A and B are shown apart, each in its own frame.
Chain A
Amino acid sequence: MRVKKGFLTGQADLLSVMILIATTIVVGVGFLGLLYPSVMDLVSRSELRSTLYNEQSLLVLYREYENDTQVCIGFLRVEPGFVAYALALVVRGQVNNSGISFPLSSVTSPGDSVVYTKTYCLINGDYYPCVERINRVVYVPYDILDNYIAKGYPGLTCISKSALTGEASLRVFIVAKGDLYEVGRVDINE
């Protein structure tokens, strides 16, 4: 009987060790679970930041043509790829997209879309909610993206000078994670 008592004592030790291990595992997994969202959030933000910085580097904007009535801006992506760009013409802090046109597109009057998401602008190299109220953007027509940007050729947008009533800039945005992020800007003087 004494032998049996000793055996039970050993079982109790084993059980307590198993409980300890199980508790440790549960605590460890719980800790990992606690850490995981933070890590994934950090990873997600870093991926977004990486994508945005990459798009900034790849987008080339240049002034292609200008006369008395219009200013035409060429835009291309150094690495050919289908990226949906959205444009906003900001004149004296207000969006005025009425002057934007795409002469190379079959879409004669591109839609002026209402922005339901947040817009982030580049300020000193980092992203902050735009100071200007970017509430409307014009998406670059599909045929321009397909025939030019996706092939590495420059697309074209023209801005009527009648819309330029003061200090103006053309902002280029991309949609990422449901929000609009600025990836390029051209200042246009009246």
Chain B
Amino acid sequence: MKLGELTSMSKPNGGRRMRGQSEVIGGVIVLTALIIAMGLVFTNLGKLSSSSITGISMRAAFETEKSFEKIQATRTSGQCSVKNTGNTPVTIIRAWSNSQPINLSKITLNPGESQSIPLVDFIVTSRGNVYPCTTQQTVNINATGPFTSEQVLNSTRIKNGLENQYVYANISSSTYAVVYNYTNKWYCSSLVDKAIPLNVTPSIADSDADDNSVNELVVVKANSCSSVNSGTGPWEGKNLDNATVRFVLKNVIDVTTNETDTLTIYFKLIVTGGFGGQAQQLSVYPVITLNGTIVISSPATTTAVGARQDLVNIFGSTVIPVKAFGLNLTTGTYDLILEFTMSGKSIEINSIRLEYIAVVGNGVVFSTPWTK
């Protein structure tokens, strides 16, 4: 084959191949341009997004710190005492006095620190919180707190009360006596007896039904203490759908001030019965009444704990906001009435017992006959 033939043969194929190459190269260049353009767009969109998020997160952090700022500014003898009561450092930047802003040299207070500044009306922090410099107000809250052992009526105090006051139970329009075992001796009280130590041992198998080393006040099947004998057992209710048990403790509460705002009463009721083996529903609706120069009643909330199959512990409390109802719990001695309305289906009650009562309120104590 001659060279000219070779050349002429290769020309058509070679030309086509090169034309194809140039299209590819052109395509690559256009594609590169597009990629660069798109890259620029996306990079800047990304910058926009991250920049906006940075600003928002800084603002969020600022607002959080601002909300944590807590300052107590109090007027004291011609000055304003400023204390940082929050958990973040605070910088006071200016103050207002007589409707004029005053520049302060930046005062930074760490948590818990305080400093006095000249008397002003308002102070402004670097985060834009404004606090008035106010005269300190003494706030007396004549309310309740956690009850202490002095405020609990059980053991010796129940025994003292039984000896000196009338204590009894009303169940479905009948009146029953109550007994209490104190150091292995039984004491009794009823509507007609300021109780006396019993010379007999009533037929009560267990003076501490829930075995927590605190004996309970037990309602017995006798109207008066004189009719309690060795065969007298606890009051029982058989096949009941409902029953109302009312414990009446005479002259138990002494109100020593007219300033009582709220009164809180706690109690523990124990009901033993034939609950074993079957699930039974027992509803208990307690109402606490204070009976004296005025009468105040309030329903109580309860928590029931079934410690054993034959026993239910019912813990309850009520808060009586005396002042909120425009009542004045005037000084004097009050009876306490704890009424429990129980309902269910064919309930078998073997005994009803009261383990403790606690009373909490400003100037409210157990009266002397109960505590001596």
Interface status of A175 (Cβ within 8 A of chain B) = no
A13 and B96: CB pair below 8 A? no
B128 and A62: CB pair below 8 A? yes
The interface-forming segment of B32-40, B180-188, B342-350 is: B32-40
Q: Would you mind naming 18 contact pairs between A and B with Cβ atoms under 8 Å apart?
A: A2-B3, A6-B7, A21-B26, A24-B22, A24-B29, A35-B34, A42-B44, A43-B40, A50-B52, A53-B51, A57-B55, A57-B56, A57-B58, A58-B58, A58-B59, A67-B99, A78-B58, A103-B100
Q: Which single residue of chain B is at the shortest CB-CB distance from A24?
A: B26
**In the complex where A24-B25, A28-B32, A43-B40 touch, is A57 in contact with B52 (Cβ < 8 A)?**
yes
The 7 closest A-B pairs by CB, nearest first: A24-B26, A28-B29, A57-B55, A20-B22, A6-B7, A54-B55, A50-B48
Chain A contact patch, size range: 35 or more
For B, the interface residue count at a CB cutoff of 8 angstroms equals 50
The interface-forming segment of B11-19, B81-89, B225-233, B241-249 is: B11-19
**Which B residues touch A110, using CB under 8 A?**
none
B44 and A46: CB pair below 8 A? yes
Considering only residues 16-59 of chain A, those with a C-beta below 8 Å from chain B are 16-17, 20-21, 23-25, 27-29, 31-32, 35-36, 39-40, 42-43, 46-47, 49-51, 53-58
What number of A-B contacts does a CB cutoff of 8 Å give?
Answer: 139
**Which A residues touch B198, using CB under 8 A?**
none
**Which B residues touch A17, using CB under 8 A?**
18, 21-22
When the two chains form the complex, which single residue of A6, A56, A64, A103 contacts B124, counting CB atoms closer than 8 Å? A64
Contacts from A to B (Cβ < 8 Å) = 2-3, 5-6, 9-10, 13, 16-17, 20-21, 23-25, 27-29, 31-32, 35-36, 39-40, 42-43, 46-47, 49-51, 53-58, 60, 62, 64-65, 67, 69-70, 72, 74, 76, 78-79, 103-104, 152-154, 156
**Which B residues touch A55, using CB under 8 A?**
55
**In the complex where A17-B22, A53-B55, A152-B126 touch, is A5 in contact with B4 (Cβ < 8 A)?**
yes
CA distance A127 to B280 in the complex (A): 69
**Which A residues touch B130, using CB under 8 A?**
64-65
A43 and B41: CB pair below 8 A? yes
Interface status of B258 (Cβ within 8 A of chain A) = no
B124 and A154: CB pair below 8 A? yes
A58 and B48: CB pair below 8 A? no
CA distance A147 to B233 in the complex (A): 88
Interface status of B30 (Cβ within 8 A of chain A) = yes
**Which B residues touch A153, using CB under 8 A?**
93, 106, 126
Distance to closest chain A CB from B300 (angstroms):
47
When the two chains form the complex, which single residue of A24, A53, A78 contacts B52, counting CB atoms closer than 8 Å? A53
When the two chains form the complex, which single residue of A3, A13, A32, A152 contacts B33, counting CB atoms closer than 8 Å? A32
**Which A residues touch B3, using CB under 8 A?**
2-3, 6
CA distance A39 to B43 in the complex (A): 11
CA distance A103 to B40 in the complex (A): 47
Interface status of B239 (Cβ within 8 A of chain A) = no
